[in-house]
Amino acid sequence: MRSRFDEQLALLNNSLIEMGALIERAIARAIKALQEQNIDAANEVIAGDDAIDEKEKEIESLCLKLLLHQQPVARDLRQISTALKMITDMERIGDHAADISEICIYLVGHKYIKRLEHIPQMAIATIKMVTDCIDAFVKTDLALAESIIKYDDIVDDLFDTVKKDLIQLIYENVENGEQALDLLQIAKYLERIGDHAVNVAEWVIFMITGRHKDTQVL
């Protein structure tokens, strides 16, 4: 019985890795679409969001089967419930990548009001956070999970830099305003992706320690 349960837990880990790869790819392709003004890349991200949604449903179904049929003990219960919490944030990350891509399509054909520098850096940072979250879950790595929360400061600092730069461009020329707001919205979506990664990291910490933030749960 336990060997069967362990096989299903391994399947759960693999499914989360696959979902993580999907959202990492979505973020990277969305920013590529932005940098290259590539409509095809943007549309691929939007269309690919369905695959992320399906993976969420698949993992949710697996978790519920484990809960209903296997009667997991406390540590296993934390792992399964953590996975259920994680996929909600991961699905939202996929949504934000699609949201970015929709803005990219609108910006195609327009010359950028500034060189794209900090937004791609934000994307790289958030992809790292997502990758680390999945690794922390699979490896039950507490130190890695805690480092993700601290790393979010980098994303927040980059967002502040983007915001200040765009505000300055609007101040210099009001005609920059519309595109500046579009670029700021993209940066905001990336900042939210960082926040979702922090949420995932906090649930991984719960899985390992039985504590979610300052609250003892299991």
Mean pLDDT of 68-82: 81
How long a stretch of residues is the chain? 218
At residue 72, the pLDDT reads 67
Question: Residue 2: its pLDDT value, please?
Answer: 64
- Residue 167 pLDDT: 96
What pLDDT does 1 receive?
55
Chain centroid offset of residue 132 CA: 11
| Residue 147: Cβ within 10 Å count | 14
Which residues, 6 or more positions from 34, have their beta carbon under 8 angstroms from its beta carbon?
100, 103, 104, 107, 116, 119, 120, 186
In order of their start, the domains of the chain are 2-216 (1.20.58.220)
**42 has a pLDDT exceeding 60:** yes
Token pair in block for residue 157 = 């600092």
CA separation for the pair 83, 72 (Å, rounded): 14
Identify the bridge partners of residue 5 per DSSP, sorted by sequence position.
Answer: none
Instruction: Calculate ∠ Cα 132-136-139, nearest 5°.
Output: 130
- Statement: residue 6 has pLDDT above 90: no
Average pLDDT of the chain to the nearest whole number: 93
> Residue 216 pLDDT more than 70?
no
